[in-house]
Amino acid sequence: MDQTAYKQVPDPESPERRAFTLQSILAILGGVAITITGCDDDNSPTSPSSSSDVSGSISANHGHAAVIMGAQLTASNAIVLNIRSAATHPHTVELSAQEVGQIAARQRVSKTSSTDDSPDAGRHSHTVTFN
C-alpha cells in the first residue's frame, strides 16, 4: 500500500496543537462572558452590551442585573446566571436549555432567583423576567 497518500496527523499533545486549540477556544468564547452591570431601583433592565444579548427585568430590584449574552443564547445550553451586580449580596437564576431557547426565540420566560440573605433586605428572592 502506498504510504505517501496519507497525511500525518499532529500528535494531540504537541505544543503546536495545544496552542492552536487554546487560541481557537479563546476566539470562540470571546463573546461568552456574562456582563453584569448595575440597575436602578425601578426594575428597568440593564442595557445589553450587544444587540443579540438579552437583559432581564428584576422584581423589587436593588442593584441586581441579569444579562444573557448572545453566544449563550445561540448555544442554547442550560446556564446559571449570577445576578449580584452592584447589590450587597448574591442571587443566582437557573435556566434550562429549553428556557434559554425560548428566550432566544424572544418568548417571555420568568424565573425565581435563589433565596439569599441581605444585610439590607433580609432573606429574599427576586423574579427575573426575560423578554
* 104-131 per-residue burial string, b: 16 or more CB within 10 A, e: under 16: beeeebebebeebeeeeeeeeebebbbe
Average pLDDT over residues 95-121: 94
Say whether pLDDT at 38 is over 80: no
Res. 10: pLDDT tops 60: no
Instruction: Report, as an integer, the average pLDDT of 41-58.
Output: 68
pLDDT over 70 at 53, yes or no: yes
Mean pLDDT across 44-70:
82
CA distance 78 to 97: 4
Place of cell 432567583: 113
φ, ψ of residue 43 to 5 degrees: the values are: 65, 10
pLDDT, residue 36, reads: 41
Q: What's the length of the chain?
A: 131
Q: Could you tell me which residue, 22 or 71, shows the higher pLDDT? A: 71
Least confident residue range of 12-16, 29-33, 69-73:
29-33
